[in-house]
Amino acid sequence: MAVTEELRALYGVAVKNWRIFLSYRVWMISDIMLGFFFVGQALLIGIGLTGQRNSSALQRITGYSDYLTFAVLGFMVLGFGLTFLSGFVWSVVDELYAGTLEYSFASPMRRITFFLGNVLVRMLLSFLYMAVYVPLFVLVFDVHINPLGFLRGLPVLLLGTIGMIGLGMTTAGIVLYLKDPGPFINILEMLVFALSGAMYPVTILPKPLQLLAKAMPYAPTSEAVRKVVAFGYSNALEELGYLLFISLTYVIFGYLAYRWSERQARTVGLKSY
């Protein structure tokens, strides 16, 4: 059966990715530490500058007075964003450098299966990381997370994730045919970092950067998640509508890029390093 064959292939790709990931155990520790640095930094900056756990200035711009919760939610969206952008793209590019990508692509499996297998494992990992982070943040930093509000935010995060995967696939499809993908991905990562709205509301950015931030799926996800967590769905309809629009757009982009790269592979072939 074609469907079961494809599913078996998907499973194979996922297991391979999982194994490769496990072989970088030490990096996992360093990844998790990174979350602590990030959130810890936010807490200490806040306390060092204001001496308090709440900021009326932040409340005026965003509705959040608890800057730490604000940063934690932002960091989670950013974590998802980086997983589906750099984690995803790097893993494909690494295979390209190692020369194994061509073998995968030469197999009869559909290429989309290869990408989806990769996405699946990253999704699982992101949730695992989150499961580690949330209780630890609550314990260590005394972050106030209302479980109900938090659960309310999850579907929004998933909606945003669709757009992030779309952007990741677009990028992966394109960078495979660049002469030197490394710095290009770095630059994109930094744009995501700066424009994700993780640490600050994007409204404090200059206008052109604000527009760019709005055009990528990260900041809209952060905003919608924060709004829903604090004020519920009915008060966040505008943000949700926009997020839906952005996510769908990137899914279409991702699909088109995938088709393009499929054709490109046949005409110019993959680069060898």
Partner 1 sequence: MPIIAVIEKEFRMFFRYPLRVFSSILVGIVFLLQFVFFGQAVLGGRYSQLLASSTGIGDYPTYALVGYVLWWLSVSPMEAYVWGIRRELQRDTFETNIAAPIRITELLLGLALSWLIMDSLLMIVVFAFGAIIFHISITLSILLKSLPVLLLSFLAFLGFGFIFAGLVMMLKHIGPFAQIFEFSMLFFSGIFFPLRVMPKIVVKFSKILPLTHSVSAIRGIFIGKSYSEIAPSITWLLLLVFIYWLIGYAIFSWAEKVTRVMGYGGY
Give the residues lining the site for partner 1 (CB under 8 A): 26-27, 29-30, 33-34, 37, 40-42, 44-51, 55-58, 60-62, 67, 71, 180, 182-184, 186-187, 190-191, 193-194, 198-201, 204-205
Amino acid residing at 215: A
Question: Could you count the other beta carbons within 10 Å of the beta carbon of residue 98?
Answer: 11
CA dihedral sign of residues 273, 122, 156, 44: negative
Q: What is the dihedral of CA 239, 241, 245, 251, to 10 degrees?
A: 90
* Least distance CB 148 / partner 1 (angstroms): 26
Contacts of 138 (CB under 8 A, 6+ apart): 145
Using CA atoms, how far apart are residues 182 and 90, in angstroms rounded to an integer? 8
Residue 132: strand, helix, or coil: helix
Closest to partner 1 by CB, 46 vs 153, is 46
Closest to partner 1 by CB, 190 vs 237, is 190
Closest to partner 1 by CB, 29 vs 237, is 29
Closest to partner 1 by CB, 13 vs 43, is 43
Question: Could you count the other beta carbons within 10 Å of the beta carbon of residue 242?
Answer: 14
Contact 74, 222 (CB under 8 A): yes
* Least distance CB 139 / partner 1 (angstroms): 17
Closest to partner 1 by CB, 192 vs 240, is 192
* Least distance CB 200 / partner 1 (angstroms): 4
Using CA atoms, how far apart are residues 149 and 231, in angstroms rounded to an integer? 9
* Least distance CB 111 / partner 1 (angstroms): 27
* Least distance CB 270 / partner 1 (angstroms): 21
Closest to partner 1 by CB, 152 vs 227, is 227
Closest to partner 1 by CB, 43 vs 169, is 43
* Least distance CB 189 / partner 1 (angstroms): 8
Residue 227: strand, helix, or coil: helix
* Least distance CB 98 / partner 1 (angstroms): 12
Two tokens, residue 86: 């750099």
Using CA atoms, how far apart are residues 261 and 169, in angstroms rounded to an integer? 10
First-to-last alpha carbon distance for the chain, in angstroms, is: 37
